[in-house]
A and B are shown apart, each in its own frame.
Chain A
Amino acid sequence: MSLRHFATGLGLLIVGIVLVAGLLAPYIAPHDPFAQDLMKRMIPPEWMDGGSALYPFGTDQLGRDYLSRLLYGARISLLIGTLAVVTSGLIGITLGILGGYFGGRVDDVVMFAITCRLSIPLILVALTVVAFVGSSLTVVVLTLGLLLWDRFAVVARTTTMQVRTLDYIAAAQAAGASRLHILTREVLPNILSHLVVVATLEMALAILLEAALSFLGLGVPPPLPSWGLMIAEGKDYMFFSPWVIMIPGIALFVLVLGINLLGDGLRDMLGTGRRV
């Protein structure tokens, strides 16, 4: 039990640190993340031979400060993660609640949509769309949002089916409440705790997918500092300067781990406890 609490706390700490780092990036970054200085290319991090305290995480192949790029990259990761989750959440929760509440034909349509979505290869479609439409922040967010709604829909649908049979839904119907009221004010608040957990999972997934797209050159366009893009740009140098991919790689891993730990903790907290 205490291990659970520790894990949740750790997740909260990680996400909190990354969030603060991203939000305060303009104030705490030691250098301009876009400023190139070709005289100072590939300086190793401070703790390695040849490192300097001026560039704690070293510089990249264009002489840009790696720590500053990492901090600004946190913004991109969190921004894309959040926006993709909001988009996919809106789509998935709407479909799931409608299917779960109305059942019958509506549910058949929703289930068919979910099945179709599950049979779409995520990365391939994302790559194709981005390749055709061109890569920008908006396109990446929309692509991920339109592709990641399935789990929201599945969870919203099953939890709605459970809630629908409860007497307070019947009482609201008998009270003359509109369907919109019943769906948004009676059903939604009671399935939200399950959806929060899904949101954390999807956010972690969206961040990883953005990194993957950026790594393949189809994510956020350079020179925006994205962690995936940093790994992509560093891959040519990784044999002699492994830290250029290790630093953003570890950051990515730790952030996704933190989000998942937080999600697990939230599930435990919201799942069993009765809210007062």
Chain B
Amino acid sequence: MSAAIEVRGLRRVFRGRTGMFGGERVVRAVDGIGFSLAAGDVLGIVGESGCGKSTLGRVIMGLLPPSEGEVLVDGKRLDTLDRRSRARLIQPVFQDPFSSLNPRHTIEQIVGLPLAAQGDVTGRQRRERVMEMLSRVGLSAEMASRMPAQLSGGQRQRVAIARALVLRPRIVVCDEPTSALDVSVQAQILNLLAELRRELGLTYLFISHNLAVVEHIATEVAVMYLGRFVEQAPVDDLFRAPQHPYTRALLASVLTPEPGLGIPDVGLGESYPDPANIPPGCRFHPRCPIAEARCQTESPEGRRPGGRLVECLLVDGQAVSDPVRVPA
């Protein structure tokens, strides 16, 4: 099967200055990411705040130019396409449905925008396809004339999904599409996304910090840390037998609904990673509970012990006996 989307050596660097006389601050938000995804698959991208996952999504969609690397959809380089062809291949669903819909436009205008931008769709065809899309995402036809302010968060996210799918794109980049919604609505939106993927044969990049959500919808999971994928595996393998110590810590950090257990100690310490100051060697070593001396100098980039991407010097591909390892 050929890849629906292929990403090669993607990097995105932000440069800024700290104060008038400060030195240049270079933030490597996306620092060498490559993957390919078969049609119909869902790649869940998980990581902490600030690990670069949203930047990755924006670079892949072409909203931010990459500093290096390329993105291919159906074998076509996105950066060589004009805006209309690109829009037919890849579409976004954003996190906050309150800022992703123009408050001055009606729902029909919002959902019809990608069609209008194509330029070769008549007003009548546009209206028909908008109505069809609205019913597909579970919104009634009378919503078409409403303004976004008249809709609830869940309805707004349905509108955003309808807009993303109205051109029938190959790839949909979902950037935390449920994290701004009420818990009761999250499941509806997730099920809707899963259903639409089956019906329309879509391929998703699903960016999230919520492991439960990713486990629910993804077929493949990539764990991102300071701009790189540190581990990537099919969803069952990753959740059953996480290899990278960071993945294991993330899985251990999931809060359980059982009372009395308190907040789990995942052994990562208090400090946040700084993408402007990526540590040498293994970028995870300052927070790693099992780090050794060589982790400070030797880089694990590109390691695939046991045939699966695990950027850790200490993982040898053998089954890990304790999936969640927390130091005493």
CA distance A191 to B323 in the complex (A): 53
Of the residues B62, B84, B99, contact of A167 by C-beta under 8 Å: B99
- Bound CA span A171–B102, Å: 9
Q: Does B150 lie at the interface of the complex (its beta carbon under 8 Å from any beta carbon of A)?
A: yes
Known contacts A170-B63, A170-B94, A181-B117; is-contact A175 B163 (Cβ 8 Å): yes
Residue of B nearest to A274 (CB): B149
Cα A178 to Cα B120 in complex, Å, equals 14
Does A173 belong to the interface (CB within 8 Å)? yes
Stretch at the interface among B22-30, B68-76, B85-93, B222-230: B85-93
Q: How far is it, in angstroms, between the C-alpha of A176 and the C-alpha of B91 when the chains are bound? A: 10
- With a CB–CB cut-off of 8 A, which chain A residues contact B253? none
Please tell me if the beta carbons of B147 and A276 are within 8 angstroms of each other in the complex. yes
Whether, in the assembled complex, A122 has its beta carbon less than 8 Å from a beta carbon of chain B, the answer is no
Contact residues, B145-173 vs A (CB, 8 A): 147, 149-150, 160, 163, 167
User: Is B118 among interface residues, defined by CB-CB distance under 8 A?
Assistant: yes
Among B83, B84, B147, B160, the one with the most A-chain Cβ atoms within 10 Å of its Cβ is B83
Q: Report whether A176 and B118 are in contact in the complex, using a CB–CB cutoff of 8 Å.
A: yes
Partner of A178, one of B83, B90, B101, B150: B83
Instruction: Verify B160–A175 contact, CB threshold 8 A.
Output: no
Nearest to B62 among chain A residues (CB) is A174
- Interface check B65, CB cutoff 8 A: no
**Residue interface bits A169-193, CB-to-B below 8 A is 1, else 0:** 0111111111001000110011000
Smallest CB separation, B123 vs chain A (Å)? 16
Q: Which chain B residue lies CB-closest to A193?
A: B104
Given A174-B87, A176-B83, A276-B149, decide whether A190 and B92 contact each other with a Cβ distance below 8 A: no
- Smallest beta-carbon distance B171→chain A, Å: 11
Flag whether B100 is at the interface (Cβ < 8 A).
Answer: yes
Q: Mark B36-76, 1 if CB is under 8 A from A, else 0.
A: 00000000000000000000001001110000000000000
A176 in complex: contacting residue of B96, B101, B104, B117, CB < 8 Å: B117
Most A C-beta atoms less than 10 A away, residue of B94, B96, B101, B113 = B113
Interface pair B94/A189, CB less than 8 Å apart: no
Chain B residues positioned under 8 Å from A168 (CB to CB): 99-102
A173 touches B63 (CB 8 A): yes
Whole-angstrom distance from the CB of B272 to the nearest CB of chain A?
23
Give bound CA distance, A181 to B96, whole Å. Answer: 22
Tell me the chain A residues, 130-175 only, with Cβ under 8 Å from chain B.
166-168, 170-175
* A173–B88 alpha-carbon span in the complex (Å): 12
* A173 and chain B: residue at smallest CB distance: B63
Residues 186 to 230 of chain A near chain B (Cβ within 8 Å):
186, 189-190
- A170–B58 CB distance below 8 A: yes
Per-position binary interface string of chain B over residues 123-155, scored 1 when its CB falls under 8 Å from any chain A CB and 0 otherwise = 000000000000000000000000101100000
> How far apart are the CA atoms of A5 and B111 in the complex, in Å?
38
- Pick the residue among A170, A178, A181, A190 that contacts B103 (CB under 8 A): A190
Whether a CB of chain A sits under 8 angstroms from the CB of B114 is yes
Residues of B within 8 Å of A274, CB to CB, are: 103, 149
Q: Does A275 contact B (CB under 8 A)?
A: yes
Partner of B100, one of A171, A176, A177: A171
What residues of chain A have their CB less than 8 Å away from a CB belonging to chain B? Answer: 166-168, 170-178, 181, 185-186, 189-190, 274-276
Given contact pairs A173-B63, A175-B87, A176-B84, enumerate 20 new A-B contacts (beta carbons under 8 Å). A167-B100, A170-B94, A171-B101, A171-B163, A174-B62, A174-B91, A175-B117, A175-B163, A175-B167, A176-B87, A176-B114, A177-B83, A177-B113, A177-B116, A178-B117, A185-B105, A189-B105, A275-B104, A275-B147, A276-B149
Interface residues of B (CB under 8 A from A): 58, 61-63, 83-84, 86-88, 90-92, 94-96, 99-105, 113-114, 116-118, 147, 149-150, 160, 163, 167
